[in-house]
Structures are given as structure tokens and as C-alpha cells.
Amino acid sequence: MTLKQLEVQGRIWLTLNGKPLLGKGRVELLKQIEATGSISKAAKAMKMSYKAAWDAVDAMNNVMGTPVIESEIGGSKGGGSKLTDAGKRLIAEYSVLEDKHKKWLISATEGFATGLLER
């Protein structure tokens, strides 16, 4: 093993009151819904079933206690979905947290490697 190969890794998963709320996959799902205007199209883009996508959105809505997306059913406009302000805030705040996490992982990797060299 060389120290160049050493890397501290980790993922972020947020819970609210002990219930799963948000991780990288759910953030990507919200971004896809925002980009496509559709849960179905977002699910296809992510190669997941509509049911899995809907279940993830429903879980986020339930845990948050407020909708993260608004949906319109059919009609002359064909329906669709868009992010609520709460959904947009989740993406924005997760992005800030993810940037801080990446910086911490780099720092932790450097610190750990330095500690190994000192021994």
C-alpha cells in the first residue's frame, strides 16, 4: 500500500426524527423532477421504477411534514410535477453540506496519511 492510494470515504444520509429523509439518490431524483417536470420522466432518467420514485417522494413528504413536490394530474396541460420551495431548499442545503463533507474527507485523508507517516 502506498499513501497515494489511501483515501477516507463516506456518504451523507440525513434523517429527521430518526426517519430517513435525504441522500444523494433522493437529491438526484428531486433534480430530475425539477428538470423534466415529471416523476415518471425523472424515474426513467434514473433507471428506476415509477413506484420507487413515487415512494421516495412520498417518504420525503411524510418525513418533512410538507410537500417537496406539487403534482397536477392530466388535463389539457398533461399534468406534471414541480418542486416546492421546501424541495428546492432541500437540494440547496444538501449541496452546501456535500461541499463541506468533501472538504472534510480530503482533510481527513491528509491527516490520516500524515499520522501514518509519523509512526
Quick: pLDDT tens for 1-19.
555 678 889 999 999 999 9
DSSP 16: E
Confidence of residue 48 (pLDDT cuts 50, 70, 90): very high
* Residue with the larger pLDDT of the pair 44 and 109: 44
Q: What is the mean pLDDT of the chain?
A: 90
Across 1-119, the runs of DSSP E, i.e. the strands, are 13-16, 19-23, 69-72, 80-83
Grid cell 490520516 — which residue?
112
**Domains in the chain, please, with CATH?**
20-118 (1.10.10.10)
pTM of the full structure: 0.84
Segment 49-88, tens digit of pLDDT = 999 999 999 999 999 999 999 988 775 566 789 999 999 9
